[in-house]
């Protein structure tokens, strides 16, 4: 399986956006993109195409997708009734790895994707190791019995503390390691500083 192995901190500096919790401190210390001449590039006027490209790259990396995956998802969102940008974000939020992250069982989407690929969770009673599975209303996610005996889940409150709030479209039982999908995410459930219209414009060229 293809993976993006570049440092998450470098990717965060390039996008000017913390793609992982550990990137916050790095962005405070070093606000310029990586590479020589980065400061000079920041001072030049940014073209509309560059803005579209950077926004697309930011969101793609935020959710941990490769270009082909992201492009296919955008194509599907374009064919779906409604606003393409908002639909794209809904599809991204409904990914299984994102639901695990939003439920508070991992501190990052990268961590939640690893939990899914290692087969720790069941979807509607069946083991799954596919992070990109899209959940729907009524779906139930639960931790497999063997997962409860791992050190990670025994120390879950220290390693991944319960979030202050969870999205209204999922219901989380943290003690039983269960999640139920009770609705569909809205635009407000995704990060507020995503400019999805720029992504739509990028793929509309």
> Percentage of residues in the chain with pLDDT exceeding 70?
79
pLDDT tens-digit series, residues 142-162:
999 999 999 999 999 999 999
- Which long-range CB contacts under 8 A does 167-170 form with residues at least 24 apart? 167/93, 167/102, 170/99, 170/102, 170/103
Domains of the chain listed by start with CATH number:
8-92+194-203 (1.10.1050.10), 96-184 (3.10.290.10)
**pLDDT at residue 19 in the model:** 67
**pLDDT at residue 1 in the model:** 46
pLDDT tens-digit series, residues 71-114:
999 999 999 999 999 999 999 999 999 999 999 999 999 999 99
How deeply is 60 buried, as exposed, middle or buried, from its count of CB atoms within 10 A (0-12, 13-18, 19+)?
Answer: buried
* Alpha-carbon distances, residue 114 vs 46, 111, 130, 143, 194 (angstroms): 36, 5, 10, 14, 24
């Amino acid at each position: 399986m293809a993976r993006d192995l570049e440092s998450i901190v470098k990717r965060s500096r390039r996008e000017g956006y913390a793609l992982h919790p550990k990137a916050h401190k790095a962005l405070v210390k070093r606000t310029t993109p990586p590479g020589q001449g980065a400061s000079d590039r920041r001072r030049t006027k940014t073209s509309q195409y560059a803005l579209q490209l950077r926004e697309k790259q930011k969101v793609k990396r935020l959710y941990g997708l490769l270009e082909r995956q992201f492009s296919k998802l955008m194509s599907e969102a374009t064919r779906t009734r409604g606003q393409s940008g908002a639909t794209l974000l809904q599809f991204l939020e409904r990914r299984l790895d994102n639901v695990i992250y939003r439920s508070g069982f991992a501190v990052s989407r990268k961590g939640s994707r690893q939990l899914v690929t290692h087969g720790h969770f069941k979807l509607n009673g069946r083991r799954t190791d596919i992070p990109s599975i899209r959940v729907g209303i009524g779906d139930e996610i639960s931790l497999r019995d063997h997962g409860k005996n791992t050190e990670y889940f025994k120390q879950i409150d220290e390693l991944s503390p319960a979030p202050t709030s969870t999205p209204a479209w999922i219901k989380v039982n943290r003690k039983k390691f269960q999640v139920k999908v009770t609705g569909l995410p809205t635009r407000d459930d995704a990060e507020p500083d995503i400019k999805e219209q720029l992504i739509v414009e990028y793929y509309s060229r």
